[in-house]
Structures are given as structure tokens and as C-alpha cells.
Amino acid sequence: MSRAVGIDLGTTYSAVAILRDTGEPEVLPNRDGENITPSVVLFQAFDGRDDPLVGTMAKHSAASAPEDVVQFVKRNMGESAWRFNSTSGTAYAAEEVSAIILRRLKEDAELALGEPVTDAVITVPAYFDDARRTATRHAGKIAGLNVLRVLNEPTAAALSFGLDTSAEGTVLVYDLGGGTFDVTLMRISAGEFDVLGTDGDRNLGGFDFDNRLIEYIAAKVEEQGGPDLLDDNAQVVALREKAEMAKRSLTTVATTTVHVSADGRPFRVAVERSEFERITADLVNRTRDLTQHVLEEAGVSWGQVDHVLLVGGSTRMPMIRSLVEKLAGKAADRSVHPDEAVALGAAIQAAMEDSAATGADIALFEGAAPVIADVTSQSLGVIQVDPDTGRDVNTIVIPRNSKIPAKLSTEGYTVVDNQTSINVQVTEGDDTNPDYVVEIGSKDLPIPPYPKGAPVRVTYAYDIDQTVFVELTDLTANKSLGTFTLDRLANLTDDQVNAAARKVSSLSVQ
């Protein structure tokens, strides 16, 4: 049997890792020898057919062929209406673009291992909701992967850390990547990982820091009598690469110079680190506020935080480290590799799933493998009619930050004779007003015919991946009528997933 891999499917970079027989997790290099692969796809059209190219080459093509390049598709996961239209005239859903990235990662892993790869654990931000988790699972399936589990990124990071150092105590994972910010507080003890609280911002990452530099450089070019670069799409795309390079330079040096050519003239813009920090201070402060909020909600003070893990490429920026260390009153752990920790943790989880399935021992652990207890990132509710007002209200069934797997039931009665089904509408969000929560899906649950007033129990469950299930119990016969997945509003149907799998497998992915 081939072994399961761990995949960090990132907004900007992805990585694949495996647990070696020695018990050491290790990142597998891609076909170009890189440990991380840009999550970027270039759709090259040949003879009316798309030959997608993934990774560094695709990223470099963003400036010359912006309309053929898809980046940051993770931000669109779970948005059912989103499509990328290639020049050959094919539309791709976010799940399909992600699947193309996953196929390249899978094939590179097979090349590195010299054996086929099918089973994988894929990571997602802790605050991903049901639709985005389901979309991630679908992307894996479309890519030909058997997704063993969808694992929270901070849990994966802590997993790699906890096992490296046999850490005990309260751990804060501060993950600032390319497109997302994610903060999670967890407790590790005796191999048990307990998530105490989590929050994040789906639209806050290195990309936003790049945007600030783009605006700054464009303003300086205009001051020097140049044109407005922001008016020219091709200039903006070219500037994005330069801004990102400048940002990375400012991580190690105090000043850098950006060279731009516009209207046939050369321009030089010097950027100082202190200036960069000034124009991005509000972004840094947003991460600070979210971090404080997670601690407050969990009732944990900074003095009680034992370890601080900095994950994500953007935590290399000196102001991030100093912010977090100032807040925590202690140094962040240095053993964590910001780019690899998530994939390494996913590989550990993948090996645990493998050993649970086969009964084989894992070299990494003496005795029992660690148990991971995560919490729900969203409240799960159901729309019910308030008997007093006759109005729809959202009733929370499983509150946010409940331990998963979580299961809770409500009881009800049929309202007409020979009723054939019960309709449930499942929501995510904290409000009692249905207008302020998101309906994730509904289901007509079939029941046998009874006179009206027959008692039923509806059980709502978040499984280990935080995917939602409903179970209906017929209390007259005292028997379960089955567990149902929702007809999800924001996701592909099973038929669409199968069709997408055929579509993606017919492509030649480079």
C-alpha cells in the first residue's frame, strides 16, 4: 500500500510532506527541486485545449499573460458562482482550479517517492466554514485523491511542533500567510491537542502588504513626474512582482530600491523599512486585535501562553515577530519552519490515519498516537418557526468553539397526517435573525406515514472535518432513518464532482 501524504494547500504556496520510516516528517521537493510550489495556474491554450502549468513558471507568467493566470483561488473556495474563463473558452470552478494544483502536487510527490500517491490529508484555515471545507474535499476528489481528512492548519503546525519538542502547555499559533491570517490558541498535554479558540481574516495576508507597496511606489513615480501606474493593468501586475521582492528584501535590509520603467523613462523609488512599517501598521494592528480577541474569548491571559508559534511566510517580517513577542512578553519559538510546519503536521496526521486503518505502528510515537480535539469555527443552527410570533428564527444547535465531533439533537412533531418528509434548513452564524446567518443547505428527510403529532428527533452533527450531517430518528418506531448530507447551496453536487474529475483528468497538467 502506498503511504498517505500531508498537503498544505495554501493561498499562495503549497507543500507536500510525508512521514519517513524513521518517524521524521519531511517535505517532498517538487519536480523543480523546490520545497514549496506557488499555488498559481497558467492556462495555456493549444489547439483549443487547455494545458495548465502550475507553480513558479506560472507565477512568473502573471506579468506577461495576466488574463491566463489564476492566483489566490483559495479565497474563492465555497463561492459557487465563481468561474475562471480560459482563453480556449472553458470555465473552471474554484474546486477545479484547486484540483489542478493538487494534481501537480500529487504527481510531484509520486516522482519524489517513486510510488503512486492516492491518500492525503489536506489542511484548511481553522475558520473555514462548511462550504469551504466541502469544496476542499471536492477539489481533492477531482484531483484523484482520497481525502482522509481535512485538518486545520494551526493544528497541523502545532502537531509538528508538539512532537518535535514534546511540548506541553498553552500554545498560540499566529499564521500570517500570503492571503489569509489565522490565529489559534490550543493546549497540548500528554499528546492531546485541544483547540481553545480560533479566529482569522480570510482577506488579510502578504498580498495586502504588497498592495500597500504598490500604491506607495506608484505615488512616488507620479511625484517624479511619471504616469499613474495604477491606471495600467499590465504595469500593476509587473509592479506586484517588484513590490513582493522589495517586501522580502526589507525583511533583511533596512532600505531597498525599486526600478520601474514607464512612458519609456526609468524611475527609481527608494523604500525604507520604517516607511513600509508605517504604511502597513493598520494591517499589523488588525492581526493584533484578532489575536487579543481570541485570548479574551478563551479567557487566557498572555502570561498563561507558554509557546508562540509563528507560521506563514509573512511572519518573517521583523515587525510581526516584534509585535507578537511584545504582546506575549516572550520570544517566539525558533524551531518552527514558517513555510513547512503545516505540511509536516499534515504528514504526521496522514500517518496516523494510515496506522488507524492498517493497525501498523508509527515510528514516531511510543504507545498511543496523539488525539486531536478541535473546536467548531462556526455556530450551527436551524431555522424554526417561533410558535408565538409565527416568524422564522435561527436557533443555534451547536455553538461556536464546541469540541468536534459535536452532536446535538432537537425533538419535534409532524404537523399533518401522513406527512412524508421533514424539511431542515441548516445555518452557520451566531444571530437569531435568519437574515444575518448563512444558510448552508437544506434537506427533505423522508419519514414513514403517521397520524400528525408523530415525534421525531433531528440530530445535527459536525464530524471530525467540521462537515455537517443531519440524522433523523423516528421516535414512534424508535429507529434511525439514516444520516444525510445536506444539499449544499454553495457546493458542487456529486454528479458535478464526478464530471469535474473527468474534465481535470483529461488535462495534461505541467
CB of 443 to ligand ADP, least distance (A): 34
Under 8 Å between Cβ of 115 and 75: no
From the list ligand ADP, Mg ion, none, pick the one residue 381 interacts with, judged by a Cβ distance below 5 to 8 Å according to partner type: none
Q: Which stretch binds ligand ADP (CB under 6 A): 5-13, 227-235, 274-282, 475-483?
A: 5-13
Catalytic, 339? Answer no
- Residue from 177, 345, 429, 434 touching ligand ADP (CB under 6 A): that is 177
CB of 177 to ligand ADP, least distance (A): 3
Q: What are the backbone angles phi and psi of residue 134, rounded to the nearest 5°?
A: -65, -40
From the list ligand ADP, Mg ion, none, pick the one residue 316 interacts with, judged by a Cβ distance below 5 to 8 Å according to partner type: ligand ADP
From the list ligand ADP, Mg ion, none, pick the one residue 123 interacts with, judged by a Cβ distance below 5 to 8 Å according to partner type: none
Helical H runs in 114-205?
130-142, 153-165
Under 8 Å between Cβ of 343 and 8: yes
SS3 letters across 422-436: EEEEEEECCCCCHHH
Strand partners, 183: 174, 199
Counting Cα atoms < 13 Å in the Cβ hemisphere of 357 gives 13
Binding mask 188-227 for ligand ADP (x = CB under 6 A): -----------------xxx--------------------
Of the pair 35, 485, the CB lying nearest Mg ion is at: 35
CB of 71 to Mg ion, least distance (A): 15
DSSP letter (8 states) at residue 375: B
CB of 427 to Mg ion, least distance (A): 28
Site size with ligand ADP, rule: CB under 6 A: 21
Retrieve residue 252's grid coordinates. Answer: 533583511
Determine the Cα–Cα distance for residues 37 and 53; give it in Å rounded to an integer: 12
Q: Which residue has the cell 507536500?
A: 16
From the list Mg ion, ligand ADP, none, pick the one residue 454 interacts with, judged by a Cβ distance below 5 to 8 Å according to partner type: none
Determine the Cα–Cα distance for residues 108 and 99; give it in Å rounded to an integer: 14
Q: Which stretch binds ligand ADP (CB under 6 A): 134-142, 178-186, 438-446, 475-483?
A: 178-186
Cβ-based neighbour number of residue 212 at 10 Å:
18
- DSSP, collapsed to helix, strand or coil, labels residue 256 as strand
- Residue from 178, 226, 370, 381 touching ligand ADP (CB under 6 A): that is 178
Q: Which stretch binds ligand ADP (CB under 6 A): 111-119, 172-180, 183-191, 263-271?
A: 172-180
- Residue from 30, 71, 180, 442 touching ligand ADP (CB under 6 A): that is 180
Q: Please identify the residue of the shown chain whose CB is closest to the bound ligand ADP.
A: 206
Binding mask 286-315 for ligand ADP (x = CB under 6 A): --------------------------xxx-
**Closest to 457 (Cα-Cα) out of 416, 422, 419, 420:** 422
Q: Which of residues 115-154 bind ligand ADP (CB under 6 A)?
A: none
From the list ligand ADP, Mg ion, none, pick the one residue 179 interacts with, judged by a Cβ distance below 5 to 8 Å according to partner type: ligand ADP
Q: What are the backbone angles phi and psi of residue 199, rounded to the nearest 5°?
A: -155, 175
- DSSP, collapsed to helix, strand or coil, labels residue 96 as helix
**Closest to 484 (Cα-Cα) out of 448, 442, 456, 455:** 442
Q: Which of residues 222-281 bind ligand ADP (CB under 6 A)?
A: 244, 247-248, 251
From the list ligand ADP, Mg ion, none, pick the one residue 13 interacts with, judged by a Cβ distance below 5 to 8 Å according to partner type: ligand ADP
Catalytic, 175? Answer yes
Count of residues for the chain? Answer: 510
Q: Going by DSSP bridges, is the β-strand pair 421-428/380-385 parallel, antiparallel, or unpaired?
A: antiparallel
- What's the N-to-C CA distance of the chain in angstroms? 26
CB of 10 to ligand ADP, least distance (A): 2
CB of 504 to ligand ADP, least distance (A): 21
90: buried, middle or exposed (CB in 10 Å: 19+, 13-18, 0-12)? middle
Of the pair 168, 333, the CB lying nearest ligand ADP is at: 333
By CB under 5 A, name the binding residues for Mg ion.
10, 177
Cα 204 to its chain centre, rounded Å, is 13
Q: Please identify the residue of the shown chain whose CB is closest to the bound Mg ion.
A: 177
Of the pair 269, 343, the CB lying nearest ligand ADP is at: 343
CB of 246 to ligand ADP, least distance (A): 10
From the list Mg ion, ligand ADP, none, pick the one residue 130 interacts with, judged by a Cβ distance below 5 to 8 Å according to partner type: none
Q: Which of residues 315-344 bind ligand ADP (CB under 6 A)?
A: 316-317, 339
- DSSP, collapsed to helix, strand or coil, labels residue 361 as coil
Asked if 84 interacts with ligand ADP (CB under 6 A), we say no
Q: Which of 74, 106, 141, 247 is catalytic?
A: 74
Q: Going by DSSP bridges, is the β-strand pair 146-152/307-311 parallel, antiparallel, or unpaired?
A: unpaired
Determine the Cα–Cα distance for residues 462 and 400; give it in Å rounded to an integer: 11
Retrieve residue 383's grid coordinates. Answer: 431555522
**Contact residues for 327 (Cβ-Cβ < 8 A; gap 6+):** 288, 291, 292, 302
From the list ligand ADP, Mg ion, none, pick the one residue 339 interacts with, judged by a Cβ distance below 5 to 8 Å according to partner type: ligand ADP
Q: Which residues are catalytic?
A: 8, 74, 153, 175
Q: Which residues bind to ligand ADP, rule: CB under 6 A? A: 10-13, 177-180, 205-207, 244, 247-248, 251, 312-314, 316-317, 339
